[in-house]
Amino acid sequence: MENRVFEKMAKRYDSEERIELAKIIVKEVRAELSESESKSLIDYGSGTGLVSLELSDLVDSILLVDSSQQMLEVAKAKVFHKGITSLKVLCSDFTEETPELKADIVLMSLVLLHIPNTKKILQELFNILNDKGKLIIVDFDKNLSISHPKVHNGFLHNELKELLAEVGFKSIKIKTFHHGHKIFMNQDASMFISSGIK
């Protein structure tokens, strides 16, 4: 991941647009979490915690994982401000090395598009999950008007489903839940939520 870019962006990352988008994502993820018993959640690529900080009432513990220390510093300040005690942070990049971790739920919100080897990261996250654990992915649908050397231009549902199944996930669900104006590299785009069980 282009880490330096995110380090520079950290302080001004929580723009109004990002906060609004996070609210939409939180609503969708809350619905997905409400049917599973509250347990441990890892937010992989958490950034400043815009999404997972709003889920702390639904789970027993949250671990924010990001490869940008600056992003996590911003998140830590928020955690302190909100007085959330069930939340920890870890600076790590699972594409390079995955620490010994276990969780019941792994959330990846608008992160998959930044990771070149999709299947490899899905495998790492599968390995971290406890048996019957759930992976929740929120990302952009495939968008042909976007072309960037470091970012996937979204994902096709059937292709992502196939990858998840190859890695070992079962009960895979995926649906588009939001269409927005200029939300993906200044282009109109739609977002999907996907879930799979280990």
Tens of pLDDT, residues 31-68? 999 876 769 999 999 999 999 999 999 999 999 999 99
Average pLDDT rounded to a whole number, residues 1-22: 71
**In Å, how far from its chain's centre is CA 127?**
16
State residue 86's pLDDT score.
86
Chain Cα centroid distance, residue 114: 11
pLDDT computed for residue 9 by the predictor: 61
pLDDT band at 85 (very low <50, low <70, confident <90, very high): confident
Look up residue 104 and give its amino acid: D
Give the pLDDT of residue 37: 73
Please state, rounded to an integer, the average pLDDT across all residues of the chain. Answer: 91
Looking at residue 6, what is its pLDDT? 62
pLDDT tens digits, one per residue of 123-177: 999 999 999 999 999 999 999 999 988 899 999 999 999 999 999 999 999 999 9
Taking 3-state DSSP, the helix, strand and coil percentages for the chain, each rounded to the nearest 5, stand at 35, 35, 30
Residue 14 CA to residue 64 CA, distance in Å, equals 16
Q: What is the rounded average pLDDT of the residues 75-101?
A: 90
* Res 1 pLDDT > 50: no
Can you list the alpha helix ranges (DSSP code H) found in the chain? 3-9, 16-34, 69-82, 118-128, 157-167
Whether the pLDDT of residue 179 is over 60: the answer is: yes
Strand order in the sheet with 129-140: 87-91, 61-66, 40-44, 103-109, 129-140, 187-197, 170-184
| pLDDT for residue 11 is more than 70 | no
Those residues whose C-beta lies under 8 Å from the C-beta of residue 121, and which sit 6 or more positions away, are 94, 95, 112, 115
How many CB atoms lie under 10 A from the CB of residue 141?
Answer: 19
